[in-house]
A and B are shown apart, each in its own frame.
Chain A
Amino acid sequence: MTRWLLWTLAGVILGGIVHLATILMLPRTASQDAYERLTPITPVNAMTPIPGPTPAKALLPFMDPAFAMAVCRYDLGHGPMKLTAPVSQAYTSVTFYTKLGVAYYGINDRAAGRRTIELYLMTTAQHDRMPEDEDVTAADRLIIESPGATGLIVLRALSTEPGLMPMAQAAVADARCLTQSQ
């Protein structure tokens, strides 16, 4: 009897390990995550407008239909990247995601200020390689460090009513993400 109780206990403990392992492994094995879904329609290092969700077709689940959206699928392997985005009439935000969909940085038009949002994205190594003097002139430049070489920049512009959607779409279509030569 005690023997079986011990076997059961061992099974439960092993089950706990299985649980933790599967939870931790899952993001790396998911084949239908946002990055994979966006890969076929987004070229690397270019801002691509994403069609809004409709009942028949939506690229990602739980997209906010009130927003126009553009995605830059980035690869910092060839150097840092500069993002410029005009601020739309109502509300504009930029969110940076890792390849696994973790939103590691997000900023809105009020925090970014001015009429256009200007951000520099680089890896920690590229940031460290920046010359000192350039760092001083860069004091008023917003530099964001990417945890990995690849990921997603998602630009969203709010259309407060359906009639304003073309304006929001035009605003995100004017955004650029360009690789800077080092």
Chain B
Amino acid sequence: MRLLLGSLYTFIIAAGVGLGSTWFALTHGAGFGTLRVGPWIAQPKAGTADIDPYSRAVIARSGALPVSLGDGVAFRARVDDQGQLLDGRCEVTVSGTTPPARYFTLTLYDPDGRLVANSLNRHGFTSEELYRNQDGSFAIAIAPRVRAGNWLPTGGVDRYVLVLRFYDTSVGAATRAEREAPMPSVKRAGGCR
């Protein structure tokens, strides 16, 4: 009786710990070789045959095709520089410079990876489309209402994700520090609607 009760208890703990940690790893983006620069997160190795099992599971579950390292590197941000979740009812400015790359694109998605509907039908910018300052730096206003210059509409959604992809770039699996990959800042600007 004691043995039965004990093993039942063990199995319940095993199921809780095992499935709980799997769920946590898949939803919180655990993975090896993660490159963090400010709020931006990239997993360059997820675009190679050396992909770790966690990234493999995340990709299989989502149905996305990762950017291969021979193509480029994708950085994701779901928070701003202060660590606050990106909110489509507020205004955020993405500004600064980017690591060397032939082209880059910035795209706004909802947390499930869908584009967000807006009146302008604009879902992102390519590096060629941006209005830039004389020194080559840029500022993109991500806001629910019209802004002058580079305006990326949020469509007023409550949560969104920014993906900054660099194509034909020197950023890769060997990149470790911010000095090698100077990423733009993501700052809350002004209030919320």
Contact = CB atoms under 8 A, between A and B. Distances in A.
Number of chain A interface residues as a range: 35 or more
Given A55-B115, A161-B128, A17 B18 contact: yes
A14 B10 contact: yes
Contact of A14 (B11, B26, B115, B127): B11
Interface of A: 3-4, 7-8, 10-12, 14-19, 21-24, 26-27, 30, 32-34, 36-37, 53-56, 58, 60-66, 90-91, 93, 95-97, 100-108, 110-111, 147, 152, 154, 156, 158-161
Contact of B103 (A14, A54, A105, A160): A160
A91 B115 contact: no
Contacts of A36: 63
B114 to A, nearest CB: 6
Given A91-B103, A106-B69, A26 B60 contact: yes
Interface of B: 2, 6-7, 9-19, 21-22, 25-26, 46-49, 51, 53-54, 56-57, 59-72, 102-103, 105, 107, 109, 112-117, 123-124, 126-129, 155, 163, 165, 167-168
Contact of B167 (A23, A91, A100, A102): A91
Interface class of chain B by DSSP: mixed
A71 to B, nearest CB: 9
B47 A65 contact: no
A139 B51 CA distance: 29
Contacts, number: 208
Given A23-B57, A95-B70, A11 B17 contact: yes
A107 B63 contact: no
Nearest to A69: B65
Contacts of B59: 27, 33-34, 101
A48 to B, nearest CB: 15
Nearest to B12: A11
23 contacts: A4-B6, A14-B11, A14-B14, A15-B21, A16-B18, A18-B17, A19-B18, A22-B19, A23-B54, A23-B57, A26-B61, A27-B57, A32-B63, A34-B63, A60-B65, A62-B163, A64-B165, A93-B71, A96-B68, A107-B71, A110-B102, A111-B70, A161-B126
A11 B115 contact: no
A53 to B, nearest CB: 6
Contacts of A21: 18
Contact of B47 (A16, A91, A106, A158): A106
Contact of A93 (B70, B109, B123, B124): B70
Nearest to B167: A91
Contacts of A107: 70-71
Q: Which of A18, A33, A103, A111 has the most CB of B within 10 A?
A: A103
